[in-house]
């Protein structure tokens, strides 16, 4: 129960109406459009190459049917964890290369960016312009914008709804369409990086002589940049981030972003570049898309968090009363699914797999005997 509420100016109030007004004012400010810089937006849009062909638009513009809509929605993964993707393995190889690069005249850096409240800050006009620039039919874009902008919601306070908020920006996080729409916004950022790379302002990282140079990996709001560790490259990246923020209002949280350098980079240069961009300097990025980026001597220690997650689930379920079939469904659908994502990318140690099997078997038979 909320007895009192403190406003931004520091005053306390216990009046329910005043508490509701403070909460409504806060969320109205969050959901209000900031009117992005249109001139910068046009500059960014010029870097995007149209991808949608006339034939694609003809398919998209065909009449919708309930069966097609249901089929499309059923294909969308509603789980929070990302699907199996090559990005994880590529990120692992690049970070492994940086961690073991001890010689050479060229220094490299991996910059992990954190986008603050990514879905909540997407400007609808930016999304619309990007979709049109990619070549989507204007009628199709209008339908997408209707889905995005027709959202309204109330706020629950102690079990009772109040207020009415019509946001002016943002994507609804539980909407299965939102991750795909967010990717279009991030595509604009990718095109900006590719343009600077093509002009020679930044250079990506190649793990061996004939390998392709990679400058960035994007998966929704998980962003990794790889480039040569120079002042010119840092200034170029800083300019890209500034323009992207002004056009889309997707702000980079520099306090939660971090840099990792190759081992051959001078320590003074590391500190200077991290200070110039305003991000934290780390020895290694712990995880990317929920999985480790660098492996040490013991893979067992690297993936022990999987065992801990399964154990915590079993502890929560301990007080539940289910039939034998109920326990089987719960274990197979939830507990055994936890390590599946990691197993799709890495070979887990045999000892860890045996421990997971034993843990689940003991849990099942203990509760079955009850």
CA distance 63 to 25: 41
Tokens found for residue 35 = 């009117």
Residue 160 backbone dihedrals phi, psi, to 5 degrees:
-120, 130
**pLDDT tens track, the chain, 370 positions:** 677 777 777 778 877 788 888 888 877 777 777 778 899 999 999 999 999 999 999 988 888 888 877 877 676 554 433 444 577 888 888 888 888 888 888 899 999 998 888 888 889 999 999 999 999 999 999 999 998 888 887 888 877 888 888 888 888 877 878 888 998 999 999 999 999 999 999 999 988 888 889 999 887 777 899 999 999 999 999 999 999 999 998 888 888 899 999 999 999 999 999 999 999 998 888 777 777 776 665 677 778 888 888 888 888 887 677 777 888 888 888 888 888 878 877 788 888 888 888 888 888 887 655 5
215 CB-near residues (< 8 Å, 6+ apart): 193, 194, 197, 202, 203, 204, 205, 225, 226, 227
Distances (CA, A) of 193 to 130, 187, 285: 16, 10, 21
CB 131 within 8 A of CB 184: yes
Query: What pLDDT score was predicted for residue 155?
Result: 83
Neighbouring C-alpha atoms within 13 Å toward the C-beta of 180: 12
Beta partners for residue 161, in sequence order = 156
Sign of the Cα pseudo-torsion (189, 190, 196, 199, in order): negative
Q: What is the pTM of this model?
A: 0.77
Sign of the Cα pseudo-torsion (234, 205, 341, 70, in order): positive
Query: What pLDDT score was predicted for residue 81?
Result: 39
CA distance 20 to 265: 54
Strands (DSSP E) found in 252-342: 258-261, 280-282, 287-288, 291-292
Cβ–Cβ contacts within 10 Å for residue 208, how many? 7
CB 335 within 8 A of CB 286: no
């Amino acid at each position: 129960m909320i007895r009192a509420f403190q406003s931004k100016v520091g005053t306390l109030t216990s009046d329910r109406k005043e508490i509701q007004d403070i909460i409504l004012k806060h969320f109205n400010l969050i959901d209000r459009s900031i009117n992005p810089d249109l001139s910068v937006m046009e500059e960014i849009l010029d870097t995007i190459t149209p991808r949608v062909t006339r034939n694609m638009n003809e398919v998209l513009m065909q009449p919708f049917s309930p069966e097609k809509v249901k089929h499309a929605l059923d294909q969308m993964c509603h789980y929070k964890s990302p699907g199996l993707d090559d990005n994880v393995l590529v990120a692992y190889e690049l970070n492994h290369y940086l961690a073991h690069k001890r010689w050479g005249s060229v220094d490299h850096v991996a910059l992990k960016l954190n986008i603050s409240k990514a879905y909540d800050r997407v400007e609808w006009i930016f999304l619309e312009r990007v979709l049109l620039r990619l070549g989507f039919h204007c009628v199709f874009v209008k339908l997408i914008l209707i889905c995005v902008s027709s959202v309204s919601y109330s706020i629950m306070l102690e079990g009772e709804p109040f207020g009415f908020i019509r946001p002016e920006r943002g994507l609804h996080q539980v909407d299965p369409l939102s991750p795909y729409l967010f990717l279009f916004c991030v595509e604009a950022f990718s095109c900006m990086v590719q343009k600077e790379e093509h002009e020679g302002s930044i250079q990506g990282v190649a793990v061996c002589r004939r390998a392709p140079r990679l400058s960035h990996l994007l998966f929704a709001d998980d962003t990794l940049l790889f480039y040569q560790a120079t002042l010119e490259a840092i200034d170029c990246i800083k300019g890209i981030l500034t323009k992207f923020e002004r056009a889309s209002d997707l702000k980079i949280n520099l306090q939660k972003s971090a840099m990792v350098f190759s081992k051959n980079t001078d320590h003074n240069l590391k500190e200077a570049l991290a200070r110039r961009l305003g991000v934290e300097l780390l020895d290694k990025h712990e995880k990317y898309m929920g999985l480790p980026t660098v492996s040490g001597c013991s893979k067992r220690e690297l993936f022990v968090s999987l065992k801990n997650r399964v154990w915590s689930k079993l502890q929560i379920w301990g007080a539940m009363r289910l039939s034998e079939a109920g326990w089987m469904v719960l274990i197979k659908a939830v507990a055994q699914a936890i390590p599946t994502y990691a197993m799709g990318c890495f070979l887990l140690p045999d000892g860890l797999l045996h421990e997971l099997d034993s843990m689940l078997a003991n849990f099942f038979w203990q509760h079955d005997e009850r």
